[in-house]
Amino acid sequence: MLHTDIPTRDDIVRLATARDRISVSVYLPTSPSPNDTEASRMSLKHRLFEAVTQLEAAGEDKRRIALLAESIQDLIDHAQFWDHLSYSLAVFATPESTVTFRLPNRLGPFLEVSDRFAIKPLMRAVTFPQAAFVLALAQNSVRLIEVTPESEGHDVEVPDLPENAEAFGTGGAQAGLSTYGYTVHGLEGEKVRIGQFARAIDRALRPVLTGRDLPLILASTEPLDGVYRAVNTYAHIAADSIQGNPEKRSNAELAAASRGILDAFYEAELVALTERMASQAAHGRAVTDLSDVARSVTYGAVDTLVVDIDAVVPGLVDEKNGAILFSESENAVNYDVLDEIVRRAILTRATVYAVRADEVPGGGPVAASVRFPV
């Protein structure tokens, strides 16, 4: 079982605004398997040694360095914590506190020592949270299942959700009441009844799904699948469905089947984003040059930011005009320029996509659509 802590927007904002001369950010690949626990702990211990070395080279206060080392060592020694992991671990530490997130995404090892935390890799869990709703839809039953990285799928209570299609038939199982008030039978009656059933489900789901942006995945068969899609009002419905009768599959089986559809959903979202940015670039509303993006985000002009989570560009970004001072190597004084761009984007409420290198429009480490040219 995966044990995850998906950060909320408030969590990310707190990390993005935190400042301490001794701030250490560590990302580690981990495993839910107990057999890999010791390797993960030793990896964090190695990163702690690297962080202390950088801080000592920068001449930071030895007492505060010792407090930081003690805090991270306490985490390393916390045996129960290491028994409950996911695929990655993020650690944010200062001499006074240590915050961790167990993430379902597979992130590479990363260390940054600076006066601020590195949040760029953390954004991957927010961009692609591996969570969804599954609507298991059959004529004899309906259930809404919430899928999260740490669960096998659990039922969501939906007031007024129809139990089955029979409630919408009159004059027998093959009859329905048309929109004009008369009873129709046979195949025509069946179509009317299924349409009424689908619309009632959509109405019941609206209060539950309003304001959410998780994908909705259908688990159904025809003709109900097509009928429901025709009346659905939720904007984030996935194009693909889980095939087969959902009544014969458990929540865990439906959750497992949803993973591949989620991957396809996110891939289609990135393709659409790339096409949209290409169109915006032709009209001066998108930029891919790193210096242009840094300047735009500093002035609050960035609407959507796409960034390579694995790329690192050491340096500093001017607080007032966004000018970049590049560094040859990482140290305890500078930080990742791309991470700072992400931080400024978050604080100006831009939408941030943390992606892999080949998914960034323009082929560079960052791209952005802008609200106005700078």
pLDDT tens per residue across span 325-345? 999 988 888 999 999 999 999
Write down the CATH superfamily of domain 9-127. eRF1 domain 1 (3.30.960.10)
pLDDT tier at 172, thresholds 50, 70, 90: very low
Burial status of residue 222 (CB atoms within 10 A of its CB: 0-12, 13-18, 19 or more): exposed
In this model, does residue 168 exceed pLDDT 70? no
CATH topology of domain 132-267: Nucleotidyltransferase; domain 5 (3.30.420)
Burial status of residue 152 (CB atoms within 10 A of its CB: 0-12, 13-18, 19 or more): middle
In this model, does residue 181 exceed pLDDT 70? no
- Cβ neighbours of 196 (radius 10 Å): 21
In this model, does residue 171 exceed pLDDT 70? no
Extract the tokens encoding 59: 């001449």
pLDDT tier at 180, thresholds 50, 70, 90: very low
pLDDT value, residue 313: 96
Name the residue with higher pLDDT: 360 or 4.
Answer: 360
Domain boundaries, the chain: 9-127, 132-267, 284-370
pLDDT value, residue 177: 45
CATH topology of domain 284-370: 60s Ribosomal Protein L30; Chain: A; (3.30.1330)
Q: Which long-range contacts (CB under 8 A, 24 or more apart) does 290-294 make?
A: 290/324, 290/337, 290/364, 290/365, 290/366, 291/323, 291/324, 292/374, 293/341, 293/366, 293/367, 293/368, 294/322, 294/323, 294/324, 294/337, 294/340, 294/341
pLDDT value, residue 164: 85
pLDDT value, residue 159: 94
pLDDT tier at 151, thresholds 50, 70, 90: low
| Average pLDDT over every residue of 284-300 | 96
pLDDT value, residue 192: 77
| Average pLDDT over every residue of 191-197 | 85
pLDDT value, residue 22: 97
pLDDT tens per residue across span 63-100? 999 999 999 999 999 989 998 888 899 999 999 999 99
How far is C-alpha 236 from the chain's CA centre? Answer: 14
Helix axes 290-298 and 337-347, enclosed angle (nearest 10) = 30
- Cβ neighbours of 50 (radius 10 Å): 13
Residues whose CB is less than 8 angstroms from the CB of residue 68 and which lie 6 or more positions away in sequence, other chains included: 22, 24, 51, 52, 55, 93, 94, 95
Calpha distance 207→213 (Å, rounded):
13
pLDDT value, residue 176: 47
- Pair 50, 127: CB distance under 8 Å: no
Q: Give the lowest-confidence range in 48-57, 156-165, 300-309.
A: 156-165
Residue given tokens 């379902």 in the structure block = 104
By C-alpha distance, which of 46, 50, 87 is closest to 65? Answer: 50
Strand duo 351-355 + 302-308: pairing: parallel
User: Whole-number mean pLDDT of the chain?
Assistant: 90
Q: What angle do CA 44, 46, 48 make, to 5 degrees?
A: 70
